[in-house]
Chains A and B, each alone.
Chain A
Amino acid sequence: MITNIVAASGVRVHEIYKSFPVPDAPGTSRLALGGISFSIAAGELVSLVGPSGCGKSTLLRLVAGLDFPDTGELLVGEERIVGPSAERGLVFQDPNLFPWLTVRRNIEAGLVARGVLREKRSEVDEFMRLVALEAFANAYPHHLSGGMAQRVALARALINHPKVLLLDEPLGALDAFTRMRMQDEVLCLWENRRTTMLLVTHDIDESIYMSDRILIMTQAPGQIDREIDIDLARPRDRTSDSFLRFRSEILEHLHFAGKAADLPA
């Protein structure tokens, strides 16, 4: 078990605006993010939920440093984000494993990229064990199931001991059972390592089950609409009254509760 806890960092997002050109109408642009501010404490697990197209993934890319805001400030700890870095790991919905590398070499990729493979080779084995994939060390990604591939992607991101782990619907493509098991695995990784995590998800149950705090976003332009603290002890019971209360609160907020009555006949 990897116990060396890396100093996690908080994230501060201040008044972020981001627009994209509209492909059909040259010269015009659409505001994707309209003044977003929030902060995440070091070691906190925060979910970002909201309708599709509200700019959740855009926001995550900005924090990852893969894209830049029009205005506003992004800080990790005390440092401004100026580009991608191994300190901020990113896991997508598609595991995006390098298909030309075996499982083991995929997990090593971060060490190779930073040129520290020689010193840290022993960690590769630890991470393979951590995600229970020793038996598949020499398999190529196309032999893996969706859940296994996502575990490799998690291990690949974690091997750099990132201060912040950004998760863009990492379990969105998995079936319901695998997804629930993986939620526990991600929580286990988080509890062991206390990495700051920002989780983008469509799944309201997932956000309640996993996070310390939920940020609800609205659409066009994307804004943080509401923050909900989930003050339930872990492991959480998905069928408890308090769990279901949070659920209906969020659904109501997103106008999905009892919507049937409003639908045109």
Chain B
Amino acid sequence: MSLRKYYAVARNAYRQATAYRLDAVTTLLSSVVFLELYYAVWSAIDASGTIEGGLGQVMTYLVAGQIVSNAAFLQTEQFIGYRVRKGTIVNELKRPLSLISHVYFHELGWVVFNSLTKALPVAVLGIIFFDIQPPGVFQSLYFLASTFLAFNLVFLLAYTNSMLVFWTKVDWSLRMMRNTVTNLFSGVLFPLYLLPGSLEGIFNVLPFRAMADAPIQIFTGQATGNHIVEIFGLQLAWLVVLFVLAHFAWRKAKTKLTVQGG
């Protein structure tokens, strides 16, 4: 019974999202611009030295990064922030759906939209313009599964981050900060397999690797067989950790909300 409600929320979000056709085009184009810029940068690096694995692999990695980050792009902070400012967040507490479920299915609708209109086209463009070798059938399936897990991780992070809205009311810069931090540590900006050994430690201890680098490695073919299993394991482990974190953050926020009287 309640599942139908969840489906309705997701479908509603999907419908709203398809109204934003211009938004899809601009995101797609900004990925293209991103890839053009870093193609130039990495080509210059390639000319000055030797890149471990070659320029082609770097580009494949970056394209895959764009696919994942476009698919999992979320504006949760704004979604919640808007409702906090308007005061309608209180209504969410009264509803039969829990807040986190409501937001989750809303974002799920967005993910479907984003994947089709922003992520998929990047893959196509990558193949055409950057000579990317797409992964095989099975590898692609694992990639999709891992990207889905990555979305869940990004969601939990964004949701936890959004809780700060109850204290600060500036949602836009919260999202920006999350994006900035995530982009660097997850591999969207810099191919993590090129990290010098001394830095590997920090990157591994943080959850961000699992949000992009994980599926990317599957896409590029750097991870095969058992390694893929390890990757799934890593993502699931972080899923648990972040879920607990999110739950804790929501509890704190809810206390503040009820103490303040909404």
Q: Does A associate with B in a complex? A: no
